[in-house]
Amino acid sequence: MGATDRLLRVIAALIIAALYTKGTITGTTGIVLMVLAVVFVLTSLVSFCPLYLPFGINTCKTGNAGDKGL
């Protein structure tokens, strides 16, 4: 998982948390979104999203100096 992906997930989680604490999202929808926010933060911390595997998604940049033999 790339840095941009991780950053966007954390920003989304913060927005969801802010909306939940202000009472903009409530009830079952609020709880589901808060669970999603927690998942976003956890996957950002470990830099891995299990849903990316079956779809072959890779947001991590490749081609660093180690790959070029430098």
Residue 6's nearest CA partner among 44, 55, 48 is 44
Strand ranges, E, within 1-70 = none
The per-residue pLDDT for range 7-33, each reduced to its tens digit, is 999 999 999 999 999 999 999 999 999
Range with the lowest mean pLDDT among 3-7, 12-16, 60-64, 65-69? 65-69
What mean pLDDT do residues 30-41 have? 96
CB neighbour list of residue 2: distance below 8 Å, 6 or more residues apart: 59, 60, 61
Q: What is the pTM of this model?
A: 0.78
What mean pLDDT do residues 30-52 have? 92
